[in-house]
Structure 1
Amino acid sequence: MDIKDIQNLIKFVAKSGATEVKLEMEDIKITIKTGSEKTETTIVQQAPMGMPQMQVAAPIAQVAPTETQSVNANVADESSKYIEITSPIIGTFYRKPAPDKPVFVEVGDSVNSETIVCMVEAMKLFNEIEAEVSGKIVKVLVEDGTPVEFGQPLFLVDPS
């Protein structure tokens, strides 16, 4: 199991809402605990003969914000009267249910808490994202087919 597999497992556990997951394989033990806003991972690997066991704590890596995310943050600051619809998971953002279908929502469309506004694909699973707020779409902050992070703003909604 390499670091990418462990990171994917951490993301999956955080997304699932589980509070604790333990995984034991023949040469590795992993415990992932999630709390209020903290995710803790403990990895214990079998040490080679004659060496003591070592525990390694691997917190979820925070990705440095890109220039686009910084611009999006500035837009959100300037227009604080708007509500952000954010990505609940890490994955690829899609505005359409299929390439030959129309987009879920356009700028100017009214949405309610159950309106599907986009899809985020993570690990070959397509997750429909609901607005969870009522109002009018003011701006789409992410290009179709681009990767998104957990908590990244996707849309701005005017609640009035």
Structure 2
Amino acid sequence: MELNFSELRELVAALNQTDIAELTLKSDAFELTLRKRGTTELSAMAPNAGLASPGPISSVVAPASSPAASGPAEEESKSAPTPDANLVDITSPMVGTFYRAPAPDEPPFVEIGDRIQTGQTVCIIEAMKLMNELEAEVSGEVVEILMQNAEPVEFGQVLMRVRPS
């Protein structure tokens, strides 16, 4: 199956006019997933299915009071507690599935109250069958873990909060 840019643009426009929230096309050469974030905004990913895992990914960290942290994904969150201005958010760098532990029968990478160091793995985000280790970019104490194990996450969604040391 081949899909050129013009056909892709037509597909996005057609999807935008329907009630379909997510569409996935798969072939031997690629996988394309389109997801509606709001009523009109679409997000598309089309990586080559044959690529190897990119390895560890550093977390996107922003102060909890950062205006960049607000947006549609945050508005849609179930319960966005009011963040403490002294806390630092660890956010998801991609759309995927959040995992607290390296395997179902192993302990979580971190728990509330744990002290973490810069570069320490705090969770895994699975995207397109690739396990991406998320590393902390700040040292401190984990004070909140906002996600449940195996829960889907959006790009930029706050996963946990850390009180920097």
TM-score bracket for this pair, using the shorter chain length: 0.5 to 0.7
CA deviation map 1:24-62 (0-9, x unaligned): xxxxxxxxxxxxxxxxxxxxxxxxxxxxxxxxxxxxxx6
Matched to 1:11, the amino acid is M
TM-score by length of 1: 0.59
**Which residue of 108, 111, 134 maps to 1:106?**
111
Which structure has the larger Rg?
Answer: 1
* 1:86 aligns to 2:91 (yes or no): yes
- CA change 1:127–1:11 in 2 (3 A) is same
* 1:10 aligns to 2:44 (yes or no): yes
After TM superposition, give the deviation of residue 64 of structure 1 in Å. Answer: 7.8
After TM superposition, give the deviation of residue 65 of structure 1 in Å. Answer: 3.5
Matched to 1:75, the amino acid is T
Matched to 1:113, the amino acid is T
* 1:66 aligns to 2:100 (yes or no): no
Q: Which has the higher contact order (CA 8 A, sep 6+)?
A: 2
Matched to 1:66, the amino acid is E
Q: Which runs of 5+ in 2 are unaligned?
A: 4-10, 13-22, 24-31, 36-42, 48-71
Secondary structure (helix, strand or coil) at the match of 2:44 reads: helix
Match of 2:82 in 1: 75
Pairwise mapping of residues 9-158 of structure 1 onto structure 2 (< 5 A)? 10-11=44-45, 65-68=75-78, 71-72=79-80, 74-76=81-83, 79-158=84-163
CA RMSD of aligned residues (A): 2.3
Q: Which runs of 5+ in 1 are unaligned?
A: 14-61
Matched to 1:104, the amino acid is F
After TM superposition, give the deviation of residue 80 of structure 1 in Å. Answer: 1.4
After TM superposition, give the deviation of residue 113 of structure 1 in Å. Answer: 1.4
| Inter-partner Cα distance in structure 2 for 1:158 and 1:12 | 36
Identity of aligned residues (%): 43
